[in-house]
Structure 1
Amino acid sequence: MTTTTPVKLSGPMLAPASGSAKSLVVLLHGYGSDGRDLISLGQFWRDSFPDTMFVAPNAPQVCGGNPFGYEWFPLDLERDRDLSRLTGAEIAHPVIAAFLADLWAQTDLGPADTILSGFSQGAMMALYTGLRLPEPLKGIVSFSGLVISPEKLAIECASRPPVLLVHGDLDDVVPVAGSQAALPVLTGLGIDTTLHISPGTGHSIAQDGLDAATAFLRTRLNP
């Protein structure tokens, strides 16, 4: 009988500026990137949210398109893109959920203290994982993402934390239609969802999108 070693994620972490963590922001990077990329958001937010710990794990797989980065799931351009994303998300989901459970056990915090955010493929996984957790998170922030398999989410949605969708209107990697389509799906499930579209912005986070995310965090972390 063979046993499979559980995948453990690791990556950069920023301790709370105050020295005492009362909340967590977990940042999931995009395809071909790593945790060092998104931890920069934590560096931007750290002084504004001094009681928050920021964690940016590396995805579990070395990226097929960039051996210096990582991927939450491979991009299979030979197959149906929606099916490929669903297959990959189903595999990555328990890895991220286990990482969150370990993090909560280590910090004595929990879902109600945690905002899960991501960019591009990481945003897809933040939505996929965060809405399937049995206890609601403090919130989810999706930068340039989409909802993978809305029909499956309608069946499997287990909690309904507030969601902010941020997207550039000129994104040619994950088109803004992804977030536009996600809005009615999420609101239809009773999820408090806001969509912010950054004009003249491609596949990146513009200052106005960052400001919208900062306001979302402020409402949740400093009520």
Structure 2
Amino acid sequence: MAKLSGPMLAPASGGVPKSIIVLLHGYGADGSDLIDLGRHWGPTFPDALFVAPNGPRPCGQNPYGFEWFPLSVDRIAGRIEGARTAAPVIKDFLADLCTQTGLSAADTFLVGFSQGAMMALHVGTSMDKALAGIVSFSGAFVPADGFETEDFARPPVAIIHGDLDQVVDPQLSRDAAEVLAAKGFDVGLHISKGVAHGIAPDGLDFATSFMLAQQV
């Protein structure tokens, strides 16, 4: 199984990490694309270790970037198969982080953008132990095998999307919130007005408030 690696930021406090915030980039990007979220959040979460791994394979459409799974002509089928294939690599990475830090899933946030958000939702809703929370920016929910029948953990979820996104349909986030809420997840949905495929200040503030609320 491939091993993930990418940029990391030690806790701003200079101390031992008390939480882990994993940042999963979008298609064709790399860990450096999201590690700036760690710089933004560092003062707010001074005891957090920020980790932004590169996807497990070079991007088929951008040789300088990475992907969690390849794009397919059939986007729905491609997401299902791609997420299923990439999930074990991310779960293995999370397990390694917990072993190295002595922390647990309950101390870990999984944050993703676009394809990374699809993976964050897919992985975070198919684990036996609940994460501290999942944050999905401009993503979609691809249920894991057994989602409807298995007794997976139900971590809190924040879903954020721009209403003018032409890359990933914002309706996919609305659908994700509805499906997860019906399954008993605590879900917060925020639609950023006038925003395309990106992370707007109001969406970032929503995510920050959500993460702070899980640490009370």
CA distance in 2 between counterparts of 1:167 and 1:152 reads 26
Please show how residues 69-84 of structure 1 align to structure 2 within 5 Å. 69-77=65-73, 80-84=74-78
Deviations 1:174-218 (A, max 9, x none): 011010111110001100001000000000000000000111111
1:50 and 2:79 correspond: no
Which residue is 2:192 aligned to?
Answer: 198
Which residue is 1:188 aligned to?
Answer: 182
Deviations 1:23-64 (A, max 9, x none): 010000000000001111000000111111110000000000
The Cα of 1:152 is off from its aligned counterpart by 5.4
Q: Which runs of 4+ in 1 moved over 6 A?
A: none
- SS where residue 23 of structure 2 aligns? strand
Give the conservation status (yes or no) of the 8 Å contact 2:58–2:65. yes
Give the conservation status (yes or no) of the 8 Å contact 2:122–2:143. no
Identity across matched positions, percent: 56
Which residue is 1:144 aligned to?
Answer: 138
Structure 1 alignment gaps of length 5 or more: 1-5
Which of 213, 216, 221 lines up with 2:207 in the alignment? 213
CA distance in 1 between counterparts of 2:144 and 2:126 reads 12
CA distance in 2 between counterparts of 1:118 and 1:109 reads 20
CA distance in 2 between counterparts of 1:10 and 1:107 reads 16
Q: Which amino acid aligns with 2:125?
A: L
Aligned length, in residue pairs: 215
Which residue is 2:11 aligned to?
Answer: 16
TM-score (norm 2): 0.97
Structure 2 alignment gaps of length 5 or more: none
TM-score (norm 1): 0.94
Give the conservation status (yes or no) of the 8 Å contact 2:80–2:142. yes
CA distance in 1 between counterparts of 2:194 and 2:118 reads 22
Deviations 1:93-150 (A, max 9, x none): 0000000000100000010000101000000000000111100000000000111148
Give the conservation status (yes or no) of the 8 Å contact 1:163–1:193. yes
The Cα of 1:153 is off from its aligned counterpart by 2.9
Q: 1:170 to 1:157 in 2, by over 3 A?
A: farther
Which residue is 1:119 aligned to?
Answer: 113
CA distance in 1 between counterparts of 2:168 and 2:156 reads 22
Superposition RMSD on alpha carbons, in Å? 1.2
1:60 and 2:56 correspond: yes
Q: Which amino acid aligns with 1:168?
A: G
Q: 1:51 to 1:109 in 2, by over 3 A?
A: same
CA distance in 2 between counterparts of 1:14 and 1:103 reads 13
Which of 168, 175, 195 lines up with 2:162 in the alignment? 168
1:100 and 2:94 correspond: yes
The Cα of 1:20 is off from its aligned counterpart by 1.8
